[in-house]
Structure 1
């Protein structure tokens, strides 16, 4: 079994499957865009100095940016 990691530890170009989302800490719009358990994501961009993280959600073909504080509430498996 693979370890659950926070989305913030992924590097640019890495793909992972969302294993859990703390929906109480995230706005509903992220869930509506496809940040749901079981969906595959890929890190496209990481801004320096703890800036936003750009993600590609493969199931809905959406590119979104998350604050690091929001990304900490999304857990993935490589």
Structure 2
């Protein structure tokens, strides 16, 4: 554990192990976008200041803010 999306670099992959308790509506949106436990994603690009982050998950590209992605619990792949 201890992996956060902030520390990941383009080309790094991770598996979602869960979601931290937080805004229920936003958690449901992340789940609807395919970031369910067990989903593997790859960091595609990061903005120059690190926010937002573009990831590839389940054959589509998703852009998230660091604060939004912070509720993801991750493990390295």
Is TM-score (shorter-chain normalized) higher than 0.5? yes
- Hey, what does 1:36 align to over in structure 2? 36
1:16 counterpart SS class:
strand
Whether 1:75 aligns to 2:73 is yes
C-alpha separation between the residues in 2 aligned to 1:54 and 1:42? 9
Distance (Å, rounded) in 2 between the aligned partners of 1:4 and 1:34: 22
Q: Could you tell me the TM-score, scaled by structure 2's length?
A: 0.82
Q: CA RMSD in A?
A: 1.7
Which residue of structure 2 lines up, in the alignment, with residue 12 of structure 1?
10
TM-score normalised per structure 1: 0.81
2:15–2:39 CA contact under 8 A, matched in 1: yes
Q: Judging changes above 3 Å, is the alpha-carbon distance between structure 1 residues 7 and 17 closer, same or farther for their aligned structure 2 residues?
A: same
Give the Cα–Cα distance (whole angstroms) in 1 for the partners of residues 68 and 55 of structure 2.
12
Aligned equivalent of 2:20, options 19, 22, 31:
22
- Where do 4+ consecutive residues of structure 1 move more than 4 Å? none
